[in-house]
């Protein structure tokens, strides 16, 4: 257990720092020689940033222009190194408090699993050099996955190479220059595979942030990349389950009645900033009660089914959107899909889907997709409405932006289908 004494330390919000400057601040936060950090995306509009600062009350704020005190700021417990704002794809913002111990333990367990896989899969002398090679940081450092790339570098005494703006060509060039390891979200990996080039320079790609579309991982592996699918969240200091198997010391169970996934171990967060009530709801003696459902097989491998708060009750049937979205993505004419529930006067709720065609010139029909789902899952799982889009709106960290997507789907409620695939491209670009 962490030693949470009454001693405190200051909390500095950081916005828009260069990669190297943030790395130095992170090093000081982990060692205790500097303040704890509250990383905030520089893409947040000013009103949203001010609301976040007001809710999480840092003692100071640091930008590229300097640092200034925040009136009314409150310190954090001495063991806290980071407070990471998160709201997932839905819900109100939270400040996840992470200790230096949980962050560095997560990094060490991650590296041990990656290195073990390298030896098992390859077993050649190049792997010694790979484990000392730079990491490519292609994710924002206000997101736990980007931060953990840097923590892994700090604990392994390697250096990161920052990719301020992701492009698949630049990422591959860095990998071929020696940055053999990186962490990506599915959108980035899809752009890499679209190059159709040899990806074997990526000795490890940790893939997380959201569910990978059907076939994406297999395609990346076919092109030579070693891809590890991770499951975790900010509350677990990033991914703590790799390819379905928990990292050493991490325990995964599911609740018998609901299937809720419960995670325990040394990488857990210590609480939500200034919100003890919310903390008590999810963090207890058995671990962290996630909002996800799943199943742990006889081999100890976790299969994630979806989110409890995403369950759609339509005509008395409980439907999880995730399997429906995965099945839609398995259709040869679909590149990616997202599914959610919307109010319906007759059924209470109905299932609606956003589909990105594999070929915009030859989009699938609604009837074709409904039949595909009806015949493979269940009649009631077929979406009542299907909207074609040029892409899914994304949050800063790569997850589907469900509020933005819901707005797009609601705009389409009175149309049988979206005839113009460029209809909402401006919204997609603003939210991705």
pLDDT of residue 210: 76
- 121-139 pLDDT per residue, tens: 444 444 545 667 899 999 9
The burial class, CB within 10 Å (0-12 / 13-18 / 19+), for 369 is buried
250 plus 202 within the same structural domain = yes
Residue that finishes a domain, picked among 80, 99, 118: 99
Per-chain mean pLDDT for the chain = 87
Count of beta carbons in the 10 Å neighbourhood of residue 111: 18
Reply yes or no on whether the pLDDT at 87 is more than 80. Answer: no
- 312-339 pLDDT per residue, tens: 888 767 788 888 999 999 999 999 999 9
Reply yes or no on whether the pLDDT at 423 is more than 90. Answer: no
Reply yes or no on whether the pLDDT at 214 is more than 90. Answer: no
Q: Mean pLDDT across the stretch 147-151?
A: 98
175 plus 60 within the same structural domain = no
pLDDT of residue 425: 30
- List the structure tokens of 236: 């677990």
Q: Mean pLDDT across the stretch 32-61?
A: 92
406 plus 282 within the same structural domain = no
46 plus 143 within the same structural domain = no
Question: 2 lies in a domain?
Answer: no
More confident residue, 35 or 407: 35
**Confidence category of residue 254, pLDDT binned at 50, 70, 90:** very high
Q: CATH no. for residue 78?
A: 3.40.50.980
Handedness of CA 74, 78, 82, 85 (dihedral sign): negative
Residue that finishes a domain, picked among 307, 330, 347: 307
Domain that holds residue 423: 311-431
């Amino acid at each position: 257990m962490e030693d949470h004494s009454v001693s405190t330390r200051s909390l500095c919000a950081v916005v828009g720092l260069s990669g190297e400057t943030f790395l130095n601040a992170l090093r000081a936060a982990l060692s205790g020689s500097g303040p704890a950090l509250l990383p905030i995306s520089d893409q947040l509009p000013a009103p949203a940033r001010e609301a976040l600062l007001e809710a999480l009350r840092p003692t100071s704020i640091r930008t590229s222009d300097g640092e200034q005190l925040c009136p009314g700021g409150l310190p954090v417990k001495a063991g806290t190194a980071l407070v990471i704002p998160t709201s997932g794809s839905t819900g109100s913002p939270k400040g996840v408090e992470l200790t230096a111990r949980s962050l560095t333990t997560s990094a060490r367990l991650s590296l041990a699993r990656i290195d073990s896989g390298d030896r098992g899969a390859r077993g050649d002398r190049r792997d010694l050099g790979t484990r000392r090679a730079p990491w490519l940081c292609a994710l924002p450092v206000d997101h736990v996955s980007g931060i953990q790339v840097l923590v892994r570098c700090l604990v392994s005494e390697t250096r990161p190479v920052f990719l301020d703006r992701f492009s698949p060509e630049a990422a591959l060039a860095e990998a071929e220059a020696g940055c053999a390891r990186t962490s990506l979200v599915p959108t980035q990996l899809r752009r890499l595979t679209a190059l159709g080039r040899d990806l074997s320079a990526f000795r490890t790609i940790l893939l997380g942030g959201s569910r990978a579309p059907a076939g994406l991982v297999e395609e990346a592996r076919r092109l030579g990349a070693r891809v590890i699918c991770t499951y975790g969240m900010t509350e677990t200091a990033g991914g703590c389950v790799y390819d379905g198997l928990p990292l050493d010391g991490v325990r995964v169970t599911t609740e018998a009645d609901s299937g809720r996934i419960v995670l325990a171990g040394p990488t857990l967060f210590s609480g939500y900033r200034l919100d003890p009530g919310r903390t008590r709801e999810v963090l207890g003696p058995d671990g962290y009660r996630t909002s996800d459902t799943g199943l742990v097989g006889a081999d100890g491998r976790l299969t994630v089914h979806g989110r409890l708060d995403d369950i759609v009750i339509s005509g008395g049937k409980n439907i999880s959107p995730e399997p429906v979205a995965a099945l839609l993505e398995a259709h040869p004419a679909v590149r990616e899909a997202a599914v959610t529930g919307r109010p319906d006067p007759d059924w209470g709720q109905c299932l609606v889907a956003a589909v990105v065609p594999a070929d915009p010139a030859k989009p699938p029909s609604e009837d074709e997709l409904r039949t595909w789902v009806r015949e493979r899952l269940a009649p009631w799982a077929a979406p009542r409405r299907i909207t074609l889009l040029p892409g899914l709106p994304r949050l800063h960290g790569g997850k589907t932006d469900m509020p933005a997507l819901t707005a797009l789907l609601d705009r389409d409620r009175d149309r049988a289908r979206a005839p113009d695939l460029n209809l909402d491209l401006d919204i997609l670009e603003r939210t991705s």
